[in-house]
């Protein structure tokens, strides 16, 4: 697939690595074009592109900025009507130990409202960048899970296909408003990783009796 990634930070860089390894055509864009060039150069199959128009031929856009920057970043990449946006953001507080919104909304729903023509899917927000960068394999046959929530069947299918192409298990988490559960789940993961000292080589998953 053709994927545009907005952002070259921890998650953006990890997506560039794993999506190119999985054989996707990746474009990466950033406020700092030198950083985009540097990240793309490290991964054959990736190219750095100017922000304006970078979503034009993308099958999906991965939004890898902080939540506070998300809407503004989306507004710079061109017409998003009919585009699939993979929202990985978590609306975390400055000390990483809380969420700035929740219960009655989520960052995914706020972003969807701000870009009404786009099809937003919440996904990958419960994976630490280290886990995404290292890959899905947790050893002994265990795989990390990607939870996908969207009101768009097509967006959910694309996020599922991308996650599976990178080796992740996928859990269908229902409609986009279930991002209200997925964002706190990421908050718990952050607490366990940093607050409780388990480190960033952890990921939430769901198990079912055979």
Ligand X SMILES: NC(=O)c1ccc[n+]([C@@H]2O[C@H](COP(=O)([O-])OP(=O)(O)OC[C@H]3O[C@@H](n4cnc5c(N)ncnc54)[C@H](OP(=O)(O)O)[C@@H]3O)[C@@H](O)[C@H]2O)c1
Contact positions vs ligand X (CB under 6 A): 6-12, 30-32, 35, 64-67, 69, 72-73, 76, 88-90, 92, 125, 127-129, 186
Name the residue nearer to ligand X (CB basis): 30 or 144. 30
**Nearest CB to ligand X, comparing residues 93 and 113:** 93
State the nearest-atom distance from the C-beta of 44 to ligand X, in Å.
21
Find, among 44, 39, 41, 51, the residue nearest to 14 by Cα.
39
Q: 205 — phi, psi (to 5°)?
A: -145, 175
CB of 209 to ligand X, least distance (A): 29
45-53: long-range contacts (C-beta < 8 A, 24 or more apart)?
A: 45/20, 46/16, 46/20, 49/4, 51/6, 51/76, 51/77, 52/76, 52/77, 52/78, 53/77, 53/78
CA 109/CA 33 separation, integer angstroms = 29
Is the CB of 98 or the CB of 210 nearer to ligand X? 98
**Distance in Å, CB of 115 to ligand X, minimum:** 14
Tokens representing 111 are: 């972003």
Residue nearest to ligand X (CB): 9
Nearer CB in complex with ligand X: 39/153: 39
Minimum distance from residue 113 beta carbon to ligand X (Å): 17
């Amino acid at each position: 697939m053709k994927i545009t990634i907005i952002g070259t930070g921890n998650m953006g860089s990890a997506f560039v690595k794993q999506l190119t390894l999985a054989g996707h055509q990746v474009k990466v864009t950033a406020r700092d074009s030198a950083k985009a060039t540097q990240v793309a150069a490290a991964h054959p199959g990736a190219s750095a592109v100017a922000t304006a128009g970078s979503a034009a031929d993308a099958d999906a856009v991965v939004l890898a900025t902080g939540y506070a920057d998300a809407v503004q970043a989306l507004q710079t990449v061109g017409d998003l009507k009919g585009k699939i946006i993979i929202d990985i953001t978590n609306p975390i507080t400055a000390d990483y130990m809380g969420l700035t919104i929740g219960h009655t909304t989520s960052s995914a729903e706020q972003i969807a409202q701000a870009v009404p023509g786009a099809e937003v899917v919440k996904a990958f927000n419960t994976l630490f960048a280290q886990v995404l960068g290292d890959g899905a394999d947790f050893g002994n046959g265990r795989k990390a899970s990607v939870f996908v929530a969207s009101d768009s069947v097509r967006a959910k299918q694309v996020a599922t296909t991308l996650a599976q192409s990178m080796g992740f298990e996928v859990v269908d988490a229902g409609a986009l408003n279930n991002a209200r559960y997925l964002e706190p789940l990421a908050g718990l993961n952050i607490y366990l990783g940093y607050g409780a000292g388990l480190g960033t080589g952890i990921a939430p998953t769901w198990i079912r009796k055979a």
